[in-house]
């Protein structure tokens, strides 16, 4: 659309493209695109898209800078950018800054909408301020401008469960159920499953599943929630039956459902069962890299590092472009290979990351240590570090200094 001159692009089109560039190519490409957009197209929608990208990156400094620019240009006149920034503060634990934003909105006469109020409720729950959470919910219920739905009541239920106020939590869950009977929202149904699991009442969990399953659209994620909930309630037999029910009727195999069962198996050290169900599932299918990674994490937590390395290698061999394993299991596997003096294993695992982005300084250092230990030349690694933009730091010098001491 951009390069075909017959299309007249709107700021909304630009915002959508910026969002897609961020998802596919990363934040730096999105920033470059933003800077090249003509001024007449950079309205609050485009700035808001960049702000949202920074929120997804959890970059407080950059998000606050864009917010300041929006305020300077008179673009921050609605609750939208404030809500986006509140979401960032909630994600990063900067709850005190939410109050500052609310005060700023009040000074500027910007009305709070339901998303503002919900963000404030969530922040109150996170800091265990249940009275504040209740006050905000009561304000919404008493204000005809707000339509309180299951989202707000689920936040309240989570808050009550967090502090052990079971009676009040159950009251909120019953309100969500009342709304379920009218709206039949799948999202609300899945939240109910998760929340009822936290009440430690297995019978109620099954009641909700059996009552609302016929009237809502059951998705793969619904089975994910139910399997996880049953496993948390130590009903592994129930979780297995739920998985078998899903597997018997699924039209497209979603390995995320299998992953939930694997997590339950790994947590209990049932690796024979875990590997058996995986081996059956992968017959004629290509699993997600996350499936093998779940097993790798399970073996790591049970200190079975040879198996953890084996599973992580499988994950990395099929990971899509840009996929990388979680840092904890990746580092644990590299630590083990280093301890075993497996230079080739370390190099293979690190080099498999090259397609998903530049290597980190730690990866380069590991390669240096392994090559030195094996008596191999390190110049190729040093040259690659420089190409990747890493100058030698103190640790690099210490590692290289060990060569002359050998």
Q: Which pLDDT does position 406 carry in this prediction?
A: 44
Cα(126)–Cα(297) distance, rounded to whole angstroms?
Answer: 28
Q: Which residue has the tokens 């730091």?
A: 393
Residue pair 143/117 in contact by the 8 Å Cβ criterion = no
Q: Which pLDDT does position 24 carry in this prediction?
A: 82
Cα(261)–Cα(275) distance, rounded to whole angstroms?
Answer: 11
Task: Compute the average pLDDT of residues 44-53.
Answer: 95
Cα(197)–Cα(199) distance, rounded to whole angstroms?
Answer: 5
Cα(370)–Cα(341) distance, rounded to whole angstroms?
Answer: 7
Segment 174-208, tens digit of pLDDT: 999 988 777 778 888 999 999 999 999 999 999 99
Q: Is the pLDDT of residue 22 over 60?
A: yes
Domains of the chain by range and CATH?
A: 288-405 (1.25.40.10)
Torsional class of 164: left (φ above 0), alpha (ψ -120 to 50), beta (otherwise):
left
Token couple for 281: 């599932």
- Which one, of 263, 334, 275, lies nearest residue 301 by Cα? 263
Segment 55-94, tens digit of pLDDT: 999 999 999 999 999 999 999 999 999 999 999 999 999 9
pLDDT averaged over every residue in the chain: 90
Segment 290-346, tens digit of pLDDT: 999 999 999 999 999 999 999 999 999 888 877 889 989 999 999 999 888 888 888
Token couple for 38: 């003509």
How many Cβ atoms are within 10 Å of 390's Cβ, its own excluded? 18
Segment 155-180, tens digit of pLDDT: 999 999 999 999 999 999 999 998 87
Q: Which pLDDT does position 350 carry in this prediction?
A: 85
Residue pair 271/287 in contact by the 8 Å Cβ criterion = no
Residue pair 98/132 in contact by the 8 Å Cβ criterion = no
Residue 389's pLDDT band (cuts 50, 70, 90): confident
Q: Phi and psi dihedrals of 147, rounded to 5?
A: -110, 105
Segment 92-149, tens digit of pLDDT: 999 889 999 999 999 999 999 999 999 999 999 999 999 999 999 999 999 988 889 9
Q: Is the pLDDT of residue 392 over 90?
A: no
Task: Compute the average pLDDT of residues 346-351.
Answer: 85
Residue 376's pLDDT band (cuts 50, 70, 90): confident
Regarding predicted confidence, which is higher, 406 or 323? 323
3-state secondary structure the chain: CCCCCCCCCCHHHHHHHHHHHHHHHCHHHHHHHHHHCCHHHCCHHHHHHHHHHHHHCCCHHHHHHHHHHHHHCCCCCCHHHHHHHHHHHHHHCCCHHHHHHHHHHHHCCCCCCHHHHHHHHHHHHHCCCHHHHHHHHHHHHHCCCCCCCHHHHHHHHHHHHHCCCHHHHHHHHHHHHHHHHHHCCHHHHHHHHHHHHHCCCHHHHHHHHHHHHHHCCCCHHHHHHHHHHHHHCCCHHHHHHHHHHHHHHCCCCCHHHHHHHHHHHHHCCCHHHHHHHHHHHCCCCCCCHHHHHHHHHHHHHCCCHHHHHHHHHHHHHHCCCCCCCCHHHHHHHHHHHHHCCCHHHHHHHHHCCHHHCCCCHHHHHHHHHHHHHCCCCCHHHHHHHHHCCCCCCHHHHHHHHHHHHC
Q: Which pLDDT does position 163 carry in this prediction?
A: 96
Q: Which pLDDT does position 405 carry in this prediction?
A: 47
Q: Is the pLDDT of residue 261 over 80?
A: yes
């Amino acid at each position: 659309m951009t390069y075909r001159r017959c299309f007249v692009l709107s700021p909304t089109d630009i915002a959508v493209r910026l969002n897609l560039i961020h998802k596919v190519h990363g934040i730096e490409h999105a920033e470059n695109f933003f800077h090249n957009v003509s001024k007449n197209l950079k309205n609050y929608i485009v700035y808001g898209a960049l702000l949202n990208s920074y929120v997804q990156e959890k970059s407080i400094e950059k998000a606050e800078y864009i917010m300041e620019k929006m305020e300077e240009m008179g673009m921050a006149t609605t609750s939208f950018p404030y809500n986006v920034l509140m979401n960032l503060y909630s994600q990063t634990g900067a709850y005190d800054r939410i109050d500052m934003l609310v005060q700023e909105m009040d000074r500027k006469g910007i009305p709070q909408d339901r998303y503002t109020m919900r963000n404030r409720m969530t922040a109150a729950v996170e800091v265990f301020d249940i009275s504040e959470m209740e006050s905000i919910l009561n304000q919404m219920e008493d204000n005809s401008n707000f339509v309180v739905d299951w989202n707000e009541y689920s936040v309240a239920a989570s808050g009550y469960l967090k502090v052990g106020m079971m009676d009040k939590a159950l009251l909120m869950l019953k309100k969500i159920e009342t709304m379920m009977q009218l709206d039949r929202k799948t999202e609300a149904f899945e939240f109910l499953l998760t929340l009822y699991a936290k009440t430690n009442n297995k019978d109620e969990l099954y009641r909700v599943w059996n009552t609302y399953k016929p009237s809502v659209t059951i998705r793969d994620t619904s089975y994910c929630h139910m399997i996880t909930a049953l496993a948390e309630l130590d009903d592994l037999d129930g979780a297995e039956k739920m998985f078998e029910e899903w597997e018997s009727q699924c039209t497209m195999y979603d390995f995320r459902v299998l992953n939930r069962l694997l997590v339950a198996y790994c947590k209990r050290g049932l690796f024979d069962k875990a590997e058996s169900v995986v081996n059956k599932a992968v017959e004629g299918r290509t699993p997600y890299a996350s499936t093998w990674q779940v097993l790798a994490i399970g073996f790591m937590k049970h200190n079975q590092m040879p198996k953890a390395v084996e599973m992580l290698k499988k994950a990395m061999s099929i990971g899509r472009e840009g996929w990388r394993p979680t840092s904890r299991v990746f580092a644990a596997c590299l630590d083990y290979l280093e301890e075993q003096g497996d230079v080739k294993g370390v190099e293979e695992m690190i080099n498999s990351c090259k397609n998903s982005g530049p290597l980190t300084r730690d990866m380069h250092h590991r390669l240096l240590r392994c090559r030195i230990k094996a008596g191999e030349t390190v110049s190729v690694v040093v040259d690659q570090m420089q190409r990747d933009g890493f100058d030698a730091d103190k640790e690099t010098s210490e590692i290289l200094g060990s060569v002359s001491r050998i």
